[in-house]
Chain A
Amino acid sequence: MTPTKQPIPKTAWWNNARNRALLFQALLICAVVGFFAYIANNTMHNLEQRGIATGFSFLKQKAGFGIIQTLIPYTEANTYGRTFVVGLLNTILVSVLGIICATILGFIVGVARLSSNWLVSKMAAVYIETFRNLPLLLQIFFWYFAVLRTLPSPKQSLHIGERFFLNIRGAYLPRPIFEDGFGWVTATLVFVALCILFLKLWANKRQEETGQQFPVLLTSLGLLVSLPTIAYFAAGAPLQWELPALKGFNFQGGITVIPELAALLIALTVYTASLIAEIVRSGILSVSHGQTEAASALGLRPGKTLRLVIIPQAMRVIIPQMTSQYLNLVKNSSLATAIGYPDLVSVFAGTTLNQAGQAIEIIAMTMAVYLTISLTISYFMNWYNARSMMKER
């Protein structure tokens, strides 16, 4: 019997899945374009009504307001464009400091949480549960208004010797002054770093060939301490400290840490560290116990097990989550605006926006900065993830 060819039943064109998809997407595009056209139209109309000119020419206008902390020279005579750079640099400053401090504190607390010491572990747990369940803004306010704003006046500063001072205006630290010969010390440091790099490469090669190990860490530490010290004294101790001193009503000289920066930094560190601690803990716990047992079966000592077996595997879990915490920290640093630390949002999307009135351009620029940071970091993250993925054979 020959198979009879069944005639394909004719279906209406709108019942064809491909046509439907095309139709749906065309409708979606129309809706989105229409929506944006409507908004653009309204915006044009509203801007005309209010007499606001669009464009970025306002960036060249004179700003005319002061900023309490600037990393680059800035006066009231500078332009709005320069306020953008000043704010951006302040955001970067607090983010970088926050990331460093939060990572250190977070690792300490995370390891303490896993400690076999009951008391230490419980204290770490209390720390984590307290700080991650409180809104960050509340913590910033607490450190700023309830702690730093109640410090004594400059005349009654808290101090350590005649070097470190703490009062309501901020913290004052000695400032290093590098004199002529300091270049030699820096050059020595670079040289030592190169030496250590080659030493590590050589030691790895030797271990692969002969199985013998070389004490790289101790040798490196010895080099790192001895050579720059020798260079420092050979160049005639070319480093002076400028000490802060009370002149009139306030301190002069040294490095000033404004209380806004201190409060923001403490709050960001304490809050993010509580989240990082949990990440570190889950990362270490994610390495199955069999790995530890296998390592001891191979004869590795506990220290080496941790360094060569546990941590590399834990890092695979820790690093992606850690990156997203770093991104959150950068974004959270924008809360600076609530206490007046001059970051990008506070200076540019705050004061500059109020003065220049160019809401759309300024907010778009501010968002673009954060978006660029986020997308760049997540791009690197994806690259790292793809590289460090478990290679199963």
Chain B
Amino acid sequence: MIVHIPHPDLPPPSTSTGIIGWLRSNLFSSPANSLLTLFALYLLYHFIPPILNWTLLDANWVGSTKDACTNDGACWVFIKVRFHQFMFGFYPSSEYWRAILAFILIGLLILYLLIDRTPKKSWVAAFTVLIFPIIAFFLFYGGFGLPVVETYKWGGLMLTLILSTIGMFFALPFGIILALARRSSMPIPRALSILFIELWRGVPLITVLFMSSVMLPLFMPEELRIDKLLRALIGISLFQSAYMAEVVRSGLQALPKGQSEAADALGLGYWQAIFLIILPQALKTVIPGIVNTFIELFKDTTLVLIIGLFDLLAIIQAAFTDPKWLGFSVEGYVFAGLLYWIFCFSMSQYSQHLERKLHTGHTN
């Protein structure tokens, strides 16, 4: 019997595998592509080495005065000397532990809530929303034996985080109410909600901050003095809640009508249907949208420097005017940019991860 043994497969040609194959298909697939690659390589060659030299290789790391910066590169000593101020503003250094403790606590709580399948999530969530803000307030501001730190001393990254977290804390529930009102069958709540949302979404945040800092004192009784930080927070929360309302509304709209009809059929009342059936599903689908809104809010908090609060950007900007440290603005901006970038980028990666996780449908 003759057994036909086919000739074993030849290996693929060496020009289509390995590094050479990858280069051919990804960088030099056509003459135009090759030109593009060479141009891109030229750009990289032109920009990357000077940037590396400036930021790392020729940079100055040690010392404590301007004179220590003798190399051509960046003078990171400036950042090192002012690091505490950039983090905490004018918060007294003996009380730093309070701010750090508050941030560690909220970080742990959020981490606990974000990790899948941790037990007793609802209790932890209730604690985070209802009790933790009170603890945080006393930690930051003082009271119960802790010395009081007035809000004008708050600043730096701490203030940026406080502004964006509290802004979010108020914007989310208010946004949900607005979104429900906009979808309501009653004409008056719907009209009011549309008016509110379109008004705030149509104007820039700066004018809102101007308004809250200039006009709010006019609106309130004379004897009521509103703290500058509080005024900014009111402006930011109102502004953000309009955006949040639109995000939540998109989630409500995406929910099939059968869900609310099923709730009606089960005999649930309006609020029961909202809290047990509608909101849990709608909010889940818009978590990425909520995270994106939070990123926007985080970036927008920089605007408070225009009304005279010292957030991260403002305090770095203020440090440039120190006569002992003139001429280090690039270092300052790079440092601020790096911090903002790390926060925003990690949050946007998380949001994309969620989008992939929640995306169970089949689209093209």
Contact = CB atoms under 8 A, between A and B. Distances in A.
A24 interface: yes
A375 B197 CA distance: 12
A360 to B, nearest CB: 6
Interface stretch (A73-81, A132-140, A165-173, A381-389): A132-140
Contacts of B202: 367, 370-371, 373-375
A42 B348 CA distance: 44
B222 A49 contact: yes
Which of B43, B204, B210 counts the most A-chain CB atoms under 10 A from its CB?
Answer: B204
A56 interface: no
Contacts of A349: 207, 210
B21 to A, nearest CB: 13
A353 B340 contact: no
Nearest to A373: B202
Interface stretch (A141-149, A193-201, A227-235): A141-149
Interface in B322-357: 329-330, 333, 336-337, 340-341, 344-345, 348
B364 A141 contact: no
A294 interface: no
Contacts of B44: 123
Nearest to B192: A32
B20 interface: no
B84 to A, nearest CB: 21
Interface stretch (A176-184, A213-221, A243-251, A333-341): A333-341
A133 B218 CA distance: 37
A393 interface: no
Contacts of A119: 26-27, 36-37, 40-41
A366 B44 CA distance: 44
A116 B36 CA distance: 11
Nearest to B224: A42
Interface in A347-393: 349, 353, 359-360, 363, 366-367, 370-371, 373-375
A25 interface: yes
Contacts of A19: none
A95 to B, nearest CB: 12
B337 A138 contact: yes
Given A42-B221, A334-B206, A145 B41 contact: no
B218 A47 contact: yes
Contact of B222 (A24, A45, A115, A135): A45
A120 interface: yes
A301 interface: no
Contacts of B340: 133-135, 138
Contact of B37 (A120, A290, A353): A120
Given A29-B188, A117-B36, A136-B299, A359 B215 contact: yes
B101 interface: no
Contacts of B271: none
Interface in B38-92: 40-41, 43-44
Contacts of A338: 305-306
Contacts of B189: 25, 28
B272 interface: no
A217 B187 CA distance: 53
Interface string A33-49: 00000010011011101
A334 B333 contact: no
Interface in B152-192: 185-189, 192
Contacts of A204: none
B302 interface: yes
Given A46-B218, A117-B26, A337 B206 contact: yes
Contact of A345 (B207, B217, B317, B333): B207
A288 B362 CA distance: 13
Contacts of A335: 206, 303
Contacts of A359: 214-215, 218
Given A117-B27, A137-B313, A24 B206 contact: no
Contacts of B259: none
A289 interface: yes
Contacts of A129: 345
A374 B210 CA distance: 19
A78 to B, nearest CB: 23
B220 interface: yes
B214 A363 contact: yes
A375 B219 CA distance: 27
Contacts of B337: 134, 138, 142
A14 interface: no
A25 B185 CA distance: 11
A186 interface: no
B201 interface: yes
A136 B206 CA distance: 13
B203 interface: yes
B37 A117 contact: yes
A129 B342 CA distance: 11
Contact of A116 (B29, B221, B330, B364): B29
Contacts of A47: 218
B101 to A, nearest CB: 27
B37 to A, nearest CB: 6
A130 interface: yes
A137 B364 contact: no
A24 B186 CA distance: 9
A135 B192 contact: no
Contacts of B215: 359-360, 363
A53 interface: no
Which of B199, B305, B341 counts the most A-chain CB atoms under 10 A from its CB?
Answer: B341
B86 to A, nearest CB: 14
B204 A331 contact: yes
B351 to A, nearest CB: 12
B320 interface: yes
Contact of B203 (A32, A117, A370): A370
Interface string B1-36: 000000000000000000000000011010001001
26 contacts: A21-B185, A24-B186, A28-B189, A42-B218, A42-B222, A45-B221, A49-B222, A117-B29, A123-B43, A130-B341, A135-B302, A138-B302, A138-B313, A138-B333, A138-B340, A142-B333, A290-B364, A334-B207, A337-B206, A345-B204, A349-B210, A367-B203, A370-B204, A371-B198, A373-B202, A374-B201
Please list the 4 inter-chain residue pairs (A to B) with the smallest Cβ-Cβ separation, ordered nearest first: A374-B202, A288-B364, A133-B344, A118-B26
Given A46-B218, A123-B40, 15 more contacts: A21-B185, A28-B189, A39-B219, A42-B218, A119-B27, A120-B36, A135-B313, A136-B302, A138-B302, A145-B329, A146-B333, A289-B364, A345-B210, A367-B202, A370-B204
Interface of B: 26-27, 29, 33, 36-37, 40-41, 43-44, 185-189, 192, 198-199, 201-207, 210-211, 214-215, 217-222, 295, 299-300, 302-303, 305-306, 313, 317, 320, 329-330, 333, 336-337, 340-341, 344-345, 348, 364
